[in-house]
Amino acid sequence: MSGTHAVFHGILDFCIQKRSYQFPPPARQRMKNENGMVYLVGAGPGDPGLITLRGAQLLSEADLVLYDGLTNPLLLHLTSGICERTARTRIGDGRIMPQIDVNQRLVEEARAGRTVVRLKGGDPCIFGRGGEEARALEEAGINYEIVPGITAATAAGAYAGFSFTDREASSAVAFVTGHEDPAKLQSQLDYEALAKFPGTLVFYMGLGNIERICAQLIEAGSFADTPAAVVTQASLPRQRVVTATLKDLPAVVAAHTLTPPSLIVVGECIDLKTAVSWFDQRPLAGQRIGITRPADQCLDAAALISQMRGEPVIMPLIQILPVEHDSVSPVLNELTTFDWLVFTSVNGVNEFFTHLWESGRDCRALGHLKTAAIGSSTASALKEHGLNADIVPEKFRAEELATALAPHAGGQRVLWARANRGRDVLPTMLKEAGADVTECVVYRNEDVTEFDTVTAAGLTNGSLSWVGLSSPSIAAQFARLLNHHGIAPDQLTTRLVCISPVTAEAAREQGLPVSAEATTYTWHGIVEAIVAAESANEPSGS
């Protein structure tokens, strides 16, 4: 497995749920017999932060997303539409979809009245077959829009430290295909013209033909000692850059076993490369970090890890599931009798307000209540619903929340919106303080049944650097899954980082080795703890 799907292995299993139900209604109401709309959207070069605002907006409105193999799967979090991969080369057991079938599918789905986003790596019209798809849509009378994206060459230069048009080296840059249509009777590339080009050459899709490309350039008149480079997986955590002369580049690439997607860069700008690119200085370079929180809540942590050049591995240990509204509505009907409303998770906030909305009410029904939140993330979730928490403890744990709330709760009715399971320290301490506590289960935590095979292997073969444990229940579940896969804690090559002392204690009770603890009890705190441990070049907090 290679390319973006190797870099973000495991994300697709959880970002995209295989759905067997029928398509939802089109995103907007249309007149009878009116066609839908197709958007040919550039996903950018790999870094999920490089998609355009227009592209992100259209993903949020799509009924169907047909994405290609170079699309970063983290972007699929931006849509609630159906997502399907359209690969023209086989990866694993995936099905190959010829370009003609892609074109036909776009037409058919638009004629069914759907809003379709065709999500393409880089820019749709720079070696992306966007022109072919646009012509097919035009011939079929389908409305479409092309949304440009940042092409791979732009990212390769910026992230590797090259300036393709540095005025000391080049006044021009040429983008060249390194892999022409095999059906062509003869090449359209004029290597004599390329050898004389007064600037930087960037070859796309040329890694498999690198020996021929370099040899033909030299044969056509390029100097054998011309600076050259290969940038592989540009803008992604596993980006690698090798440099050599044009003559020696194929051998250097072979020695480093580079894999696609890659670009070949030829030109004097390479000699002006910064000593260390800004991207190479990111603190988590080379670290693969397991995110154990529920899949639909992993995006912020994954983006943070990616920004620091780490590789996020999505491996949720629990699922967040809804509960029947009928089980919550009796409590909602008694809201006027409560004095305090307490939340101990972002999920609790979001699910509580979902049920409140389903009951025909909104935040105005809470105007008489005081609110308490276990931490800053939970308080921020409350703020998104128009409420400021009256109490947020300095340390984000149930004991601290109960201690802060207890002086105000005596003789008061307290409603705790919670999951179906978890620690009971909060209601116990509040009841001891004289509070009348009602617990309302607004969502369910359910365990996953096993690790995927690659993640399980990564825990013992050194390929998974860290795993973040973000609650005592997740720590216990991690230990159970290790046992399920026959992995003893002392076999782990992966280091464990815990979100809080309570979680670390729970992990140690399960026999798990803890290498680091967060001092701020959030996923940002987990990442900061990993950075600190890596900076010290040794595990800490064990």
Write down the pLDDT at residue 423.
80
CA angle 223–227–233, rounded 5-degree value: 135
Write down the pLDDT at residue 461.
94
CA-closest candidate to residue 454, choices 3, 13, 18, 4: 13
Task: Report all structural domains of the chain as residue ranges with CATH numbers, in order of start.
Answer: 4-13+34-150 (3.40.1010.10), 154-272 (3.30.950.10), 288-317+449-536 (3.40.50.10090), 320-447 (3.40.50.10090)
Write down the pLDDT at residue 487.
96
pTM reported for the whole predicted model:
0.72
In angstroms, what CA-CA distances link 164 with 38, 201, 235, 253?
34, 9, 16, 21
Q: In sequence order, what DSSP letters do the residues of 220-236 get, joined into one string? A: TT--TT-EEEEEESTTS
CA-closest candidate to residue 177, choices 266, 69, 71, 264: 264
Q: Distance (Å, rounded) from C-alpha 301 to C-alpha 279?
A: 19
DSSP class of 99? H
Amino acid, single-letter form, for residue 173: V
- How many other β-carbons are positioned within 10 Å of the β-carbon of residue 131? 12
With tokens 């603890």, the residue in question is 517
CA-closest candidate to residue 11, choices 377, 259, 289: 289
**Do residues 289 and 310 make contact, with C-beta atoms less than 8 angstroms apart?**
yes
In angstroms, what CA-CA distances link 516 with 211, 226, 236, 250?
47, 47, 26, 42
Write down the pLDDT at residue 298.
83
With tokens 């070859």, the residue in question is 203
HEC states along 358-409? HCCCCHHHHCCCEEEECCHHHHHHHHHCCCCCCECCCCCCHHHHHHHHHHHH
Write down the pLDDT at residue 274.
78
Residues of the chain below pLDDT 70: 1-34, 88-95, 180-187, 537-542
Write down the pLDDT at residue 407.
94
